[in-house]
Structure 1
Amino acid sequence: MSNESLKVLPLLPLREIVVFPYTAVPLFIGRVKSILAIEKAYATDKLIFLSAQKDAKLDNPTENDIYKVGTVCKIIQLLKLPDGTLKILVEGLNRGRIVRFLSDSEYFLVEVELKTEIIEADVETIALIKLCKESLEEYSHYNKKLNPEIVNNLLNIDNPSEFSDRLAAILNLKLEQKQKLLETISVKKRLEILLNHLRGEIEIIKTESRIRERVKKQMEKTQRDYYLHEQMKAIQKELGEREDGRSDLAELEKRIKKKKLPKEVASIVRREFKKLSLMSPMSAEATVVRNYIDWLISLPWYEKTQDNIDIEKVEELLNKNHYGLEKPKQRIIEHLAVQKLTKSIKGPILCFVGPPGVGKTSLAKSIAEAIGRKFVRVSLGGIRDEAEIRGHRRTYVGALPGKIIQGMRKAGTINPVFCLDEVDKIGMDFRGDPAAALLEVLDPEQNHSFQDHYLEVGYDLSKVLFITTANALYTIPPALLDRMEVIELPGYTEEEKLEIAKNYLLPRQLQAHGLSPEMVPLDDDALLEIIRKYTREAGVRNLEREIATICRKIAKDVAKNPKEFIPFKITISKLEEFLGVPKYRYGVAEEQPQVGIATGLAWTETGGALLQIEAVIMPGKGNLQITGKLGEVMQESVQAAMSYVRSRALQLGLPLDFYRKIDIHVHVPEGAIPKDGPSAGITIATAIVSALLKIPVKNTVAMTGEITLRGRILPIGGLKEKLLAAVRGGIKTVLIPKENEKELKEINPNVLRDLEVILVENMDEVLKIALLLEDPSTLFKEAPSLDIWKLMELQEKLKDKTVPLEH
Structure 2
Amino acid sequence: MIFFKRSDEENPAPAKPQELEELRGRAKTLSLPEHIAAIVDKELEKLSRTDPSVAEHAIGQGYVDWLCALPWNASTEDSLDFARVERILSGSHAGLFHVKERLLEFLAGRTLAAGAPPHVLVVDDEEIARMNLEHVLKKEGYAVRTAANGQEALDLVRQWSFDLIVTDLKMDKMDGMTLLSEAGKLSPATQIVIVTGYATVQSAVQAMRTGAAHYLTKPISLDELRQTVRELLGGRKALVPSRGPVLCFTGPPGTGKTSIGMAIAEALGRTFHRMSMAGLRDEAELRGHRRTYVGAMPGKIIQAMRRLGVNNPVLMLDEIDKVGQDFRGDPGAAFLEILDPEQNRQFLDLYIDAPFDLSQVMFIATANDLSKLDAPLRDRLEIVNFPGYTEAEKLAIATRHLIPRQCAEHGLVHPLPEFAPEAVRGIIRDYTNEAGVRGLDREIGAVCRKLARIALADGGARYPSRVDTALATSLLGPRRFTHSAAQEHVRPGVVHGLVWSDAGGEIVLVEAASMKGAGQLILTGSLGEVLKESAQTALSYIRGNAEAFGLDPDFFAAMDLHIHIPAGAIPKDGPSAGITILMALLSLLTGRRARPGVALTGEMSLGGMLLPVSGVREKILAALRGGVDTVCLPEGNRPEVEALEPELHSAIRLVLAREASELADVVLQTPKATTEPTA
Flag whether TM exceeds 0.5 (same fold): yes
Distance 2:247 2:649 in 1: 28
**Which residue, 40, 57, 62 being the options, matches 1:291?**
62
Partner deviation per Cα, 1:44-86 (whole Å, 9 max, x = no partner): xxxxxxxxxxxxxxxxxxxxxxxxxxxxxxxxxxxxxxxxxxx
Deviates more, 1:418-427 or 1:497-506: 418-427
Residue aligned with 1:617, SS: strand
Q: CA deviation at 1:397?
A: 6.9
AA paired with 2:103? Answer: I
Deviates more, 1:274-283 or 1:600-609: 274-283
Residue aligned with 1:323, SS: coil
Change (3 A) 1:270 1:722: same
Partner deviation per Cα, 1:477-534 (whole Å, 9 max, x = no partner): 2322222222222111001100110011111112222221735332111111110111
Residue aligned with 1:546, SS: helix
Distance 2:390 2:342 in 1: 40
AA paired with 2:70? Answer: L
Partner deviation per Cα, 1:323-370 (whole Å, 9 max, x = no partner): 111221122111112112213532642222221111111111111111
Indicate whether 1:492 and 2:263 are aligned: no
Indicate whether 1:651 and 2:422 are aligned: no
Q: Tell me the equivalent position of 2:305.
A: 408
Q: CA deviation at 1:265?
A: 1.6
Q: Tell me the equivalent position of 2:80.
A: 309
Distance 2:526 2:463 in 1: 53
Structure number with larger C-alpha Rg: 1
**Which residue, 405, 409, 425 being the options, matches 2:322?**
425
Distance 1:581 1:747 in 2: 34
Distance 2:54 2:645 in 1: 65
Checking the alignment, whether the CA contact within 8 Å between 2:17 and 2:52 is kept in structure 1 is no
Distance 2:341 2:58 in 1: 35
Distance 2:411 2:666 in 1: 54
Distance 2:478 2:307 in 1: 46
**Which residue, 343, 346, 370 being the options, matches 2:243?**
346
Indicate whether 1:741 and 2:638 are aligned: yes
Distance 2:394 2:349 in 1: 43
Change (3 A) 1:534 1:577: same
Checking the alignment, whether the CA contact within 8 Å between 2:243 and 2:361 is kept in structure 1 is no
Q: Tell me the equivalent position of 2:225.
A: none
**Which residue, 27, 30, 41 being the options, matches 1:256?**
27
Q: Tell me the equivalent position of 1:271.
A: 42
AA paired with 1:370? Answer: A
Checking the alignment, whether the CA contact within 8 Å between 2:313 and 2:361 is kept in structure 1 is yes
Change (3 A) 1:347 1:412: closer
**Which residue, 711, 714, 722 being the options, matches 2:619?**
722
Q: Tell me the equivalent position of 1:690.
A: 587
Q: Tell me the equivalent position of 1:637.
A: 534
TM-score normalised by L of structure 1: 0.64
Distance 1:316 1:542 in 2: 27
Pairs within 5 Å for 1:328-727: 328-343=99-114, 345-346=242-243, 348-395=245-292, 398-516=295-413, 518-559=415-456, 561=458, 563-586=460-483, 588-592=485-489, 594-727=491-624
Change (3 A) 1:245 1:694: same
Distance 1:684 1:345 in 2: 52
**Which residue, 75, 95, 110 being the options, matches 1:324?**
95
What's the % identity of the aligned pairs? 46
Distance 2:569 2:533 in 1: 20
Residue aligned with 2:383, SS: strand
Q: CA deviation at 1:753?
A: 1.0
AA paired with 1:267? Answer: A
RMSD: 2.5
Change (3 A) 1:556 1:618: same
AA paired with 1:269? Answer: V
Pairs within 5 Å for 1:157-196: none
Checking the alignment, whether the CA contact within 8 Å between 2:55 and 2:294 is kept in structure 1 is no
Deviates more, 1:276-285 or 1:545-554: 276-285
Residue aligned with 1:401, SS: coil
Distance 2:320 2:366 in 1: 6
AA paired with 2:386? Answer: L
Residue aligned with 1:621, SS: coil
Q: Tell me the equivalent position of 1:60.
A: none
Distance 1:761 1:619 in 2: 34
Change (3 A) 1:282 1:672: farther
Q: Tell me the equivalent position of 2:198.
A: none
Distance 2:542 2:566 in 1: 22
AA paired with 2:79? Answer: N
AA paired with 1:373? Answer: R
Partner deviation per Cα, 1:113-135 (whole Å, 9 max, x = no partner): xxxxxxxxxxxxxxxxxxxxxxx
Checking the alignment, whether the CA contact within 8 Å between 2:245 and 2:362 is kept in structure 1 is no
AA paired with 1:525? Answer: E
Residue aligned with 2:669, SS: coil
Residue aligned with 2:371, SS: coil
Checking the alignment, whether the CA contact within 8 Å between 1:593 and 1:697 is kept in structure 2 is no
Checking the alignment, whether the CA contact within 8 Å between 1:414 and 1:461 is kept in structure 2 is yes
Q: CA deviation at 1:621?
A: 2.2
Deviates more, 1:448-457 or 1:728-737: 448-457
Checking the alignment, whether the CA contact within 8 Å between 2:489 and 2:593 is kept in structure 1 is no
Distance 1:483 1:730 in 2: 39
AA paired with 1:500? Answer: I
Residue aligned with 1:518, SS: coil
Distance 2:488 2:586 in 1: 20
Distance 2:659 2:597 in 1: 20
Checking the alignment, whether the CA contact within 8 Å between 2:319 and 2:366 is kept in structure 1 is yes
Residue aligned with 2:454, SS: helix
AA paired with 1:275? Answer: K
Distance 2:389 2:46 in 1: 60
Distance 1:240 1:405 in 2: 42
Checking the alignment, whether the CA contact within 8 Å between 1:622 and 1:663 is kept in structure 2 is yes
Distance 1:250 1:591 in 2: 84
Q: CA deviation at 1:690?
A: 1.2
Checking the alignment, whether the CA contact within 8 Å between 2:499 and 2:619 is kept in structure 1 is yes
Distance 2:616 2:454 in 1: 45
**Runs of at least 5 residues in structure 2 that lack an aligned partner in the other structure:** 115-240, 674-679
**Runs of at least 5 residues in structure 1 that lack an aligned partner in the other structure:** 1-209, 215-233, 777-807
How many aligned positions are there?
543
Distance 1:712 1:521 in 2: 52
